[in-house]
Amino acid sequence: MTQTSHIPFTKMHGAGNDFVVLNNIEQNIELSPRLVKALADRHFGVGADQVLVVEASTLADCDFKYRIFNADGSEVQQCGNGARCFAQFVFDKKLTSKTRIRVETQAGIIEPELIGHNWVKVNMGPALFDPTRIPFVADGLATRQVGAITQYLLPADTGRGRQELWVSVASMGNPHVVIQLEQPASDDLVQSLGTTLESHPRFPERVNVGFLNVVDKNRAHLRVFERGVGETLACGTGACAAAVCGMKMGLLSERVDIIKAGGTLTIEWSGQADSDVFMTGPAQTVFEGEYCL
């Protein structure tokens, strides 16, 4: 633990997905699950969906290392909205003068680029659909082909009894399951099904649950129940995963606006195997302060 009894922090958000950002280059904070949960607590702490940590990279060709902790204290591989806030933070704090940086994450290298005032575009890398790489245990499940994507008939025990759902699965450095709906998802559906699927035994590392409602080729509504957090106002990797699944189903164009409760993210993908997914959206500082230990 850092020797000080106060931890300087910056509160930020990307389309309503909010973060506590810690500069661990200029200080030395050992983050325990207990401390993460305390910082993220909306009543007794600062309040956040995730805690983001800026560190020096261990790789010669990267500018920084980016660590992400969910509100429940668990460390995760990737966070798209956080990536935009990360890039805005290191630029605002003069930790770099670059407007485009390479960042080391548990999921690989990402490349955020500041393209306007509080506006960031991120190369999120390729989407993965192989169940073993998500990871997702697909053995024994019925499948169907929808456009260019394979969907799985997933059994789930919910408060409404046992259901079978046709789902798409993808990874954007973290696992996602996407359910396509004809109407926008209700609060009850997001909470009940989100809670059930987040810890479904077919997802060994738990999963983020996306509820996708396509408006037209260029627009879609999305709600995401994030693992370790619950529903958030926006989820960057969730927007990417839902968009690429919709594109592979033939429902969405190569450039689409994903509309969330906290704002809109623009996702671009060529649809080619191993091609990178690009996400553009806001990154806003809210306030700064010190957390008392």
Please tell me whether residues 154 and 37 are part of one structural domain: no
CATH of the domain at 106: 3.10.310.10
DSSP the chain: --SSSEEEEEEEEETTEEEEEEE-SSS-----HHHHHHHH-TTTS---SEEEEEE--SSTT-SEEEEEEETTS-EES--HHHHHHHHHHHHHTTS---SB--EEETTEEEEEEEEETTEEEEEEEE-B--GGGTT---TT--EEEETTEEEEEEEEEETTEEEEEEEEEEESSSEEEEEEESSPPPHHHHHHHHHHHHT-TT-TT--EEEEEEEEETTEEEEEEEETTTEEES--HHHHHHHHHHHHHTTSS-SEEEEEETTEEEEEE----TTPEEEEEEE-EEEEEEEEE-
Number of structural domains in the chain: 2
79, 85, 240, 245: the active-site residue: 79
62, 235, 240, 245: the active-site residue: 235
**Residue 273 located in a structural domain:** no
Tens digit of pLDDT at every position of the chain (293 positions): 344 588 999 999 999 999 999 999 998 898 999 999 999 999 999 999 999 999 999 999 999 999 999 999 999 999 999 999 999 999 999 999 999 999 999 999 999 999 999 999 999 999 999 999 999 999 999 999 999 999 999 998 876 678 899 999 999 999 999 999 999 999 999 999 999 999 999 999 999 999 999 999 999 999 999 999 999 999 999 999 999 999 999 999 999 999 999 999 999 999 998 899 999 999 999 999 999 98
Please tell me whether residues 70 and 105 are part of one structural domain: yes
Please tell me whether residues 60 and 149 are part of one structural domain: no
Please tell me whether residues 173 and 261 are part of one structural domain: yes
Q: Which pTM does this prediction carry?
A: 0.93
Any catalytic annotation for residue 245?
no
- Predicted confidence at residue 93, as pLDDT, reads 97
Please tell me whether residues 141 and 181 are part of one structural domain: yes
**Residue 275 located in a structural domain:** no
- Predicted confidence at residue 157, as pLDDT, reads 80
| Residue 121: domain span | 6-126+282-292
**Residue 277 located in a structural domain:** no
- Predicted confidence at residue 88, as pLDDT, reads 98
Any catalytic annotation for residue 79?
yes
Please tell me whether residues 135 and 264 are part of one structural domain: yes
**Residue 274 located in a structural domain:** no
